[in-house]
Amino acid sequence: MSEHQRLGILLSGRGSNFLAIADAIASGKLAGAKIVVVISNKADAPGLAAARELDLNAVAIEACGRKRAEHDAEIIACLRKHEVDLICLAGYMRLLSQEFIATFPQRILNIHPSLLPAFPGLDAQQQAFDYGVKVAGCTVHFVDEQLDHGVIVLQKTVPVLDGDDAHTLAARILEQEHIAYSEAIERVLSGKFRILGRRYLPQN
């Protein structure tokens, strides 16, 4: 990985995956990357406050009452200003416009708390629990125009225990999310991969 590839984080809430990425960078596990801007569509997002505590650029670009295209255009401008190499969605609760995705092709990652294509959308952990699956997990994938649909970079599995409820299952999935996201970022930033159809293929 080349030195100091620039990450832009988009979040709407507490940003636990953002903090896990920041920890991985600080500890050297995700060497050569740095977070250059954290953007939220909610001014009161706890993740923004956490970013400020880490002396990171933290920007609120509120979505309320605005057209998606206008809102996304402002975020795109901010990401370009900070010369972002890779965008990481960390609990960003808005669908991105086609224009946004087209501006950063194969440069937007998302993490989802299920083994896609199973259980896309909201409350994936509850969906998995209600369905009665024996194995759950998380998926890091490129973002495309469809919800939770882009090419899969990495997945991690979590067994569903007999004593689980949706909350305990979600907590164990989250532990794996915090590991998986940094691993996936490192893989993508290395550039040592190609995409064939829907398949992500690592290359030496």
Distances in whole angstroms, Cα of residue 77 to Cα of each of 16, 58, 73, 109, 158:
25, 15, 6, 18, 38
What are the residue ranges in the chain where pLDDT is below 50? Answer: 1-2
- The answer as to whether 109 is a domain residue is yes
Q: What is the model's pLDDT at position 11?
A: 98
- Is 112 assigned a catalytic role? yes
CATH of the domain at 159: 3.40.50.170
Structural domain count of the chain: 1
Half-sphere exposure of 180 (CA within 13 A, CB side): 26
- The answer as to whether 181 is a domain residue is yes
- The answer as to whether 200 is a domain residue is no
The domain in which residue 29 lies consists of: 5-195
Of the candidates 4, 71, 82, 112, the residue annotated as catalytic is 112
Q: What is the model's pLDDT at position 64?
A: 85
Nearest to 115 by CA among 85, 79, 157, 151: 157
Cis bond before residue 159 (omega within 30° of 0): no
- The answer as to whether 93 is a domain residue is yes
Q: What is the model's pLDDT at position 3?
A: 67
Q: What is the model's pLDDT at position 2?
A: 43
Q: Residue 104 and residue 182: Cα distance in Å, rounded?
A: 20
pLDDT in tens, 137-166: 999 999 999 989 999 999 999 999 999 999
- The answer as to whether 184 is a domain residue is yes
- The answer as to whether 204 is a domain residue is no
Which pTM does this prediction carry? 0.94
- The answer as to whether 202 is a domain residue is no
pLDDT in tens, 11-30: 999 999 999 999 999 999 99
- Non-local (6+) Cβ contacts of 94 within 8 A are 12, 41, 63, 68
